[in-house]
Amino acid sequence: MSESQPDRDERYHGRRRGRPLRKLRTALLETLLPRLAVDRPAPGSRLDPASLFPHPVAEVWLEIGFGGGEHLAAQAAAHPAIGFVGCEPFLNGIAGLLTHIDSRNLANVRIYPDDARPLLDALPDASIGRCFVLFGDPWPKQRHRERRFVGPANLDRLARILKPGAELRLASDDPVLIAWMIDHAWHHPAFEWLAEGPQDWRTRPADWPPTRYEQKAITAGRRPVFLRFRRRF
Ligand SMILES: C[S@@+](CC[C@H](N)C(=O)[O-])C[C@H]1O[C@@H](n2cnc3c(N)ncnc32)[C@H](O)[C@@H]1O
């Protein structure tokens, strides 16, 4: 995931397609995605996220780079009064989320199947109640660091759209990215870190379902961290 200017260059968010999709997934992309997809907003336009849902929602929460969608689907099932918008350009991941939405009959999820940044720019100030960026692409090389999603430009975007008091949840298993995210979020005037103690960030909170990349990290012997920041009032 990257954080500089929005563009459609795949270098910034990785691949759009992976392995060929199974029949059900292809069918869901053809039939369910058109009903749930959020169009790319015109430059300079505003999009009220609550208007994406056919019923009133208490708040809208955002997940950027939802991967296979397991975390987003679990959150949506646990919080039916919240409207969820997931951003993910990787088609196989979108198909994964659609299978969860279909099998769990979730009515409170919308999908932005693209680079999140143009959507963030279209959202009104203080319109999002919580945001998740979990196991973002680490871009380990120093010369690629500007592509890491959580950095100054995207923290400014998130600071603008998050409500005062809203949580920004970040996770990673990559030491370079962890240090980078903490450094930038910690020094950003709009955010405060909610760590309650030195070991707090090593334990995934009970209301934070696991993701596929977390499982991969643990299987490979890496220790993820779970970071909670709050948009200052
Ligand atoms: C390493 S994967 C992690 C997936 C998932 N969050 C997990 O923990 O299993 C990072 C994901 O972020 C997505 N991504 C990268 N840049 C993005 C961007 N600018 N907007 C939305 N999604 C992005 C990628 O397509 C990829 O699926």
Of the residues 7, 102, 115, 137, only one is catalytic, namely 137
CATH number at residue 225: 3.40.50.150
Inside any domain, residue 78: yes
> What Å distances lie between residue 146 and 131, 190, 195, CA to CA?
20, 20, 26
Tell whether 18 is covered by a domain: no
Q: Is 207 a catalytic residue?
A: no
Q: Per the domain annotation, does 185 fall within a domain?
A: yes
For ligand 1, the distance from its centroid to the CA atom of residue 43, given in whole angstroms, is 23
Q: What is the largest CA-CA distance in the chain?
A: 48
Q: Please report which helix (H) or strand (E) contains residue 116, including its range.
A: helix 116-122
111 within some domain: yes
Q: What is the DSSP letter of 42?
A: P
| Closest ligand 1 atom to Cα of 14 | 25
Which residues have a Cβ under 8 Å from the Cβ of 141 and sit 6 or more positions away? none
Contact 171, 134 (CB under 8 A): yes
| The one-letter amino acid at 52 | L
Count the neighbouring beta carbons within 10 Å of the beta carbon of residue 186: 12
With cut-offs at 50, 70 and 90, classify the pLDDT of residue 103. Answer: very high
**Does residue 5 lie in a domain region?**
no
Query: What's the pLDDT band for 220 if we cut at 50, 70, 90?
Result: very high
Tokens encoding 114 = 């693209």
219 alpha carbon – ligand 1 mean position (Å): 19
Please tell me the residue having the least CA distance from ligand 1 atom 12. 65
Per-residue confidence (pLDDT) for residue 43, from 0 to 100: 93
- Asked if 111 contacts 94 with a C-beta cutoff of 8 angstroms, the reply is yes
Query: Which pair of tokens denotes residue 3?
Result: 């954080």
Residue 10 lies in a domain: no
Does 13 reside within a domain? no
Q: Whose CA is nearest to atom 5 of ligand 1?
A: 67
Mean pLDDT in residue range 18-40: 91
Number of independent structural domains in the chain: 1
pLDDT tens readout for residues 140-189: 999 999 999 999 999 999 999 999 999 999 999 999 999 999 999 999 99
Cβ < 6 A, ligand 1 pocket: 1-2, 13-14, 64-67, 87-90, 93, 115-117, 134-137, 149, 211-214
Provide the CB-side half-sphere exposure for 6 (13 A, CA): 16
List the helix and strand counts (H, then E) for the chain. Answer: 8, 7
Mean pLDDT in residue range 193-208:
87
Nearest protein CA to atom 25 of ligand 1, as residue: 90
Provide the residue range defining the domain that includes 170: 23-38+46-231
Which stretch of 133-142, 183-192, 198-207 has the lowest confidence by average pLDDT?
A: 198-207
Q: Which atom of ligand 1 is nearest to the CA of 134?
A: 6
What are the structure tokens assigned to 36, written together?
């749930």
| pLDDT of 3 strictly over 60 | no
Please give the pLDDT value at position 156.
98
Name the residue among 88, 79, 76, 105 with its Cα closest to residue 38: 88
Coil, helix or strand at residue 131 = strand
Position 155 scores a pLDDT of: 98
Pairing outcome for strands 60-64 and 128-134 = parallel
Residue 11: its pLDDT value, please? 57
Kindly indicate the confidence band of residue 10, based on its pLDDT and cuts at 50, 70 and 90: low
What separation in Å is there between the alpha carbon of 97 and the centre of ligand 1?
13
Under the banding of pLDDT at 50, 70 and 90, the label for residue 14 is: low
Instruction: Write down the pLDDT at residue 7.
Output: 47
- 175 in any annotated domain: yes
pLDDT, mean over the chain: 93
